[in-house]
Amino acid sequence: MDWYHYRFRTVWLLDADPDSVFLVLERAGEYPDWWPQVREVTPIDERGGTARFRSVIPYDLVISARESRNDPRARVLEMEMTGDLEGWARWTLSARGDGTSALYEQEVDVNKPLLRRLAVVGRPFFLANHALMMRSGRRGLRKVLAGRHTV
């Protein structure tokens, strides 16, 4: 097992049409407004920037991200990342009844030295930390889509 490698797959069921969800998700610079663990996003140009994340475990992850796909017709957003995490992340949206199924996939290698040193004993905590971050993001996005939080 490669203790530094992570593969995530999360599905969010949302009560909004896929195009509305896409419009919110493609504005990564606004994620800190509704996703508490996305602490900061700094654009570099139209397709990339840096981001800082922090969830329950007290460490920050800093990445540089570059959009590799923005396809409104297919409803796919994908980015490549380097820094504390290296790999890719992708949103794929599809209609589900009156709402949207938002599939989030991520495959990364951890580069942050502290997390590499703690890879074996910390893995269950890192996975739980990621799950909590994703739940919080889903809650924030649902509020935005319901109009209870403006972006």
Query: For residue 53, which of 16, 92, 118, 106 has the smallest C-alpha distance?
Result: 106
Question: For the segment 46-63, what is each residue's pLDDT rounded down to a tens digit?
Answer: 999 999 999 998 899 999
User: What's the chain's Rg over C-alpha atoms?
Assistant: 15
Question: For the segment 102-149, what is each residue's pLDDT rounded down to a tens digit?
Answer: 999 999 999 999 999 999 999 999 999 999 999 999 999 999 999 965
The Cα 46–Cα 106 span in angstroms is 22
Domain ranges of the chain: 5-145
The Cα 90–Cα 103 span in angstroms is 8
Q: Provide the pLDDT confidence category of residue 16 given band limits of 50, 70 and 90.
A: very high
Helix H or strand E segment including 102: strand 99-110
Instruction: Write down the architecture of domain 5-145 according to CATH.
Output: 2-Layer Sandwich (3.30)
DSSP 8-state class, residue 112: -
Q: Is the pTM of this model over 0.85?
A: yes
